[in-house]
C-alpha cells in the first residue's frame, strides 16, 4: 500500500528544497555550507547538513531523515540554507505535517 504521509519515527524519508530568486533557480554549486533546517511543532529548530541533488546547478538540496529526527507529531516547517563567500541565503519556508502512529 502506498504511503503519502510522514510519521513520527520515520527513517529514510527524503526531503528536498530548491533555492530560487523569484522564478529563477539559483546555482548553489559553490556553496560552502549546505543545510536543511526543520522547525518542530515545539518551536525548536533541527539543522542538518544536506547534499546536492545533482551538483547544485539546479538549486536543489536533499536530506534523508535518521533516527530521532521526526520525533514529534504536528505541524513542521522546512527551509534550505546555504553560504557562499559572498553571502548567506535561505529558501522559502514550507510547512508539512508529521502524523502520529497507531501505537502512539
CATH number, domain with residue 93: 2.60.40.10
Count of positions (residues) in the chain: 104
Domain enclosing residue 15, as ranges? 6-98
Q: Does residue 4 contact residue 94 with C-beta atoms inside 8 Å?
A: no
Q: Give me the pLDDT at residue 34, please.
A: 98
Would residue 85 count as lying in a domain?
yes
Q: pLDDT class for 104, splitting at 50, 70, 90?
A: low
Would residue 104 count as lying in a domain?
no
Shortest CA distance to 35 belongs to which of 98, 79, 65, 67? 79
The H helix count followed by the E strand count for the chain is 0, 11
Query: How many domains are there within the chain?
Result: 1
Question: pLDDT (tens digit, 9 = 90+) per residue, 30-67?
Answer: 999 999 999 999 999 999 999 999 999 999 999 999 99
11 Cβ neighbours under 8 A, 6+ residues apart: 65, 66, 67, 69
Amino acid at each position: 500500500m502506498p504511503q503519502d504521509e510522514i510519521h513520527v519515527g520515520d527513517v529514510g524519508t527524503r526531503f528536498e528544497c530548491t533555492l530560487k530568486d523569484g522564478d529563477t533557480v539559483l546555482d548553489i554549486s559553490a556553496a560552502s555550507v549546505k543545510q536543511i533546517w526543520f522547525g518542530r511543532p515545539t518551536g525548536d529548530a533541527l539543522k542538518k547538513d544536506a547534499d546536492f541533488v545533482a551538483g547544485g546547478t539546479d538549486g536543489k538540496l536533499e536530506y534523508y531523515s535518521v533516527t530521532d529526527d521526526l520525533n514529534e507529531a504536528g505541524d513542521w516547517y522546512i527551509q534550505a540554507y546555504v553560504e557562499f563567500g559572498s553571502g548567506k541565503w535561505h529558501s522559502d519556508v514550507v510547512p508539512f505535517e508529521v502524523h502520529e502512529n497507531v501505537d502512539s
